């Protein structure tokens, strides 16, 4: 029997590069990257919200650029490098993750993966963004909990850490201290 002849004809069989790993995966050809990540690769860190491009919670990086995985076909990602929130921490949390946790920039956390990746792409391009630039870069990610200020502050703090500065969160942005 020829290899692959057991495959349902409508399924695609490809190798995706996800978080630096090459993963073979089979999925229905009309699936979005969001569906492939969550359902076929079981990477449920990427969240699904509106699934229509209206919320940003599904954001992942494709070739370093933040895009909406609910509007990208899995098939269109062959040969591209995909980065999801699962790829951010290695032995330690990514500075953005640490800053989000320290400053209460995640409450329910549903929007957080999208914010983290979008912010990571921003800092790669612009290691010292102004608050206005952070706001602009994150203006495609909705958050129903935080009111955004804590998110902007966390990105500023993480940016400072990533530049090697000994930055401390300002007192007024921390809860439960003193």
Ligand X SMILES: Cc1cc2nc3c(=O)[nH]c(=O)nc-3n(C[C@H](O)[C@H](O)[C@H](O)COP(=O)(O)OP(=O)(O)OC[C@H]3O[C@@H](n4cnc5c(N)ncnc54)[C@H](O)[C@@H]3O)c2cc1C
Binding site for ligand FES (CB under 6 A): 48-51, 53-58, 68, 70, 106-111, 143-146
Nearest distance from C-beta of residue 27 to another protein, angstroms:
12
Binding mask 108-147 for another protein (x = CB under 8 A): ----------x-----------------xx-xxxx-----
CB 62 within 8 A of CB 82: yes
Phi–psi pair at 65, nearest 5 degrees: -105, 135
Per CB under 6 A, the list member of 26, 29, 54, 127 interacting with ligand X is 54
What whole-number distance in Å separates Cα of residue 80 and Cα of residue 118?
Answer: 17
What whole-number distance in Å separates Cα of residue 158 and Cα of residue 123?
Answer: 9
CA 1 to chain centre: 41
Nearer to ligand X, 114 or 129 (CB): 114
What whole-number distance in Å separates Cα of residue 3 and Cα of residue 20?
Answer: 27
Residue 32 binding partner per list ligand FES, another protein, ligand X, none, with a CB distance cut-off of 5 to 8 Å that depends on partner kind: another protein
Residue 109 binding partner per list ligand FES, ligand X, another protein, none, with a CB distance cut-off of 5 to 8 Å that depends on partner kind: ligand FES
């Amino acid at each position: 029997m020829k290899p692959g002849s057991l495959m349902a004809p409508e399924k695609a069989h490809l190798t995706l590069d996800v978080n630096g790993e090459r993963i073979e995966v089979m999925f229905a050809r009309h699936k979005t990257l969001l569906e492939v990540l969550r359902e076929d690769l079981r990477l449920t860190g990427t969240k699904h919200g509106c699934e229509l491009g209206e919320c940003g919670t599904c954001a992942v990086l494709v070739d370093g650029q933040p895009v909406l995985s609910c509007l990208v076909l899995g098939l269109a990602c062959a040969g591209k490098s995909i980065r999801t929130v699962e790829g951010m921490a290695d032995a330690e949390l990514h500075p953005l993750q640490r800053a989000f946790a320290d400053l209460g920039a995640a409450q329910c956390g549903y929007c957080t993966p999208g914010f983290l990746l979008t912010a990571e792409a921003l800092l790669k391009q612009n290691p010292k963004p102004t608050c206005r630039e952070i706001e602009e870069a994150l203006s495609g990610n909705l958050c129903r909990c935080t009111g955004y200020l804590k998110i902007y502050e966390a990105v500023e703090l993480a940016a400072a850490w990533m530049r090697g500065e000994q930055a401390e969160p300002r007192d007024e942005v921390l809860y439960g201290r003193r």
